A and B are shown apart, each in its own frame.
Chain A
């Protein structure tokens, strides 16, 4: 009897906790939209998104350079992180023994726990000077940000695509091997095609992570509000824009930063929806 009362009390408390978490998330969303939407009304959504000039002192708020910056940095991060991450996952799942796979998995999980400021610090002291010395430019650049982010998305890329590869039935591999396939042929012809929706999901989740990352990027990007013309130019991303200026903003400036947040919110939500569709598409087969 007291058993079922305990049970009911536990259920109530947990329901309350769930309700609080969900409503806080809801409130944040409402708050961001409430604060940011007036900026769209003030200067027009189109003007805000396509405007080339971001100059708070002159009330010019165009986020086009930051959109391009986010796009370039994210693409660069994927170009680095995807092949590395997928290669690592394929090695762990198909080539290494189960013991070294477990070890690698632990290391990747550890890597996920490294604070982003540490990545930024390493980028600042190693990658930025390297680029400045050997490739030219200020060093603070699209390239530096892409490299740092490329490594930061590795854990997501590795663990999600590793899970996708492990979900491929062992019987596929056995049948390929029994036909005289090498391990690499098995991977190329059957394992990767079977896991492709999971790998796509990994890439999309990694993209979301790359877009959202702020601290490390601020430290190595240079943060200039101009459209970068080469990968060696400094760049400012959408998240950096908010983090750098929120502290001292007021009025329209503050609303424009919230509006930047709305744009980010929409982009990341879309990516998550696509990732989920990709995962569903994979498991439906």
Chain B
């Protein structure tokens, strides 16, 4: 069946195109013939039961699966029309274009400043003034600047979990990526912090292409413009979030969003 129609995206521009993409962990076929277009300045949610391949799909977009032994892929994923799986693609370059925020906030045992500055440093930025500038801009973008501007030297591990996750987002955007991947970014957080992160993502939407994996259907409904439903390594249905949640085309999607499939 057709999993997306270009008219659904209105005037939004294509950022990522996935073509007949398959991924294997050794012999295990984890992603099966995925075809999809992901557009700019929008939030695309990926939902589906545990183990269906959501994280694997997300990690295919920044080639983090390369770090797993025995992974092989077929098909293509295009970023701005360029196949990111071509052998001559520099994955460090790709990952600076496609940032990622993980399920559990992981701050390094360094100061707040160094936690954010380590990302631009990787790109070779050593100028102190420039780093200070980047850190301020990134922390400001996640709403932490006013709170932390006098605490830049303090260990980042002393922050609350919610603030740690914001710091991780600040770190991800410090290198000015074009795409940000979120893998269940709120599952370790309480409802208040969850809403704050959602608001933050909604604000980032204007400047980035955002893909978020979530287990939480209300969250997908709240924050996303488009929703992909995956099952057993396949993309079952993909379309505007409102229509996925109100009039799903596939009986399996309906079963899942009504809670009859887990």
Question: A177 at interface (Cβ–Cβ under 8 A)?
Answer: yes
Query: Among the interface residues A171, A175, A194, which one has the most CB atoms of the partner chain B within 10 A?
Result: A175
Q: Which A residues lie within 8 Å of B121 (CB)?
A: 189
Question: A172 at interface (Cβ–Cβ under 8 A)?
Answer: yes
CB atoms of A179 and B171 under 8 A apart:
yes
As a 0/1 sequence over residues 88 to 117 of chain A, the CB contacts with chain B under 8 angstroms (1 = contact) are 000000000110000000000000000000
The chain A residue with its CB closest to the CB of B183 is A178
A interface list, Cβ under 8 A from B: 97-98, 169, 171-172, 174-182, 185, 189-190, 193-194, 285
CB atoms of A180 and B96 under 8 A apart:
yes
Question: B172 at interface (Cβ–Cβ under 8 A)?
Answer: yes
Question: B148 at interface (Cβ–Cβ under 8 A)?
Answer: no
Q: Which B residues lie within 8 Å of A181 (CB)?
A: 92, 122
CB atoms of B95 and A175 under 8 A apart:
no
CB atoms of A194 and B108 under 8 A apart:
yes
CA distance A171 to B118 in the complex (A): 16
Question: B104 at interface (Cβ–Cβ under 8 A)?
Answer: yes
The chain B residue with its CB closest to the CB of A175 is B106
Please judge, given known A-B contacts A171-B102, A189-B118, whether A178 and B108 are in contact too, CB under 8 Å: no
Interface size on B, residues (CB 8 A): 26
Main secondary structure, interface of A, reads: helix
CB atoms of A179 and B119 under 8 A apart:
yes
Q: Which of A171, A177, A179 contacts B175 (CB 8 A)?
A: A179
Question: B99 at interface (Cβ–Cβ under 8 A)?
Answer: yes
Question: B235 at interface (Cβ–Cβ under 8 A)?
Answer: no
CA distance A189 to B123 in the complex (A): 13
The chain A residue with its CB closest to the CB of B181 is A178
As a 0/1 sequence over residues 140 to 176 of chain B, the CB contacts with chain A under 8 angstroms (1 = contact) are 0000000000000000000000000000100110010
CB atoms of B122 and A174 under 8 A apart:
no
Q: Which of A172, A177, A182 contacts B64 (CB 8 A)?
A: A177
As a 0/1 sequence over residues 166 to 203 of chain B, the CB contacts with chain A under 8 angstroms (1 = contact) are 00100110010000000000000000000000000000
CB atoms of A179 and B64 under 8 A apart:
no
Please judge, given known A-B contacts A174-B64, A189-B118, A189-B121, whether A180 and B106 are in contact too, CB under 8 Å: no
Q: Which B residues lie within 8 Å of A185 (CB)?
A: 122
Q: Which A residues lie within 8 Å of B110 (CB)?
A: 193
CA distance A176 to B109 in the complex (A): 13
The chain B residue with its CB closest to the CB of A99 is B69
Nearest Cβ on chain A to B131's Cβ, whole angstroms: 14
CA distance A167 to B125 in the complex (A): 30
Q: Which B residues lie within 8 Å of A175 (CB)?
A: 102, 106, 108, 168
Please judge, given known A-B contacts A177-B67, A177-B95, whether A193 and B109 are in contact too, CB under 8 Å: yes
Q: Please list 18 pairs of residues, one from A and one from B, whose beta carbons are closer than 8 Å in the complex, sorted by A's number.
A: A171-B106, A174-B64, A175-B102, A175-B106, A176-B122, A177-B95, A178-B64, A179-B95, A179-B99, A179-B118, A179-B171, A179-B175, A180-B96, A180-B123, A190-B118, A193-B109, A194-B108, A194-B109
Nearest Cβ on chain A to B90's Cβ, whole angstroms: 9
As a 0/1 sequence over residues 119 to 144 of chain B, the CB contacts with chain A under 8 angstroms (1 = contact) are 10111000000000000000000000
Question: B214 at interface (Cβ–Cβ under 8 A)?
Answer: no
Nearest Cβ on chain B to A169's Cβ, whole angstroms: 7
CA distance A98 to B69 in the complex (A): 10
The chain A residue with its CB closest to the CB of B122 is A181
Please judge, given known A-B contacts A174-B67, A189-B121, whether A180 and B175 are in contact too, CB under 8 Å: yes
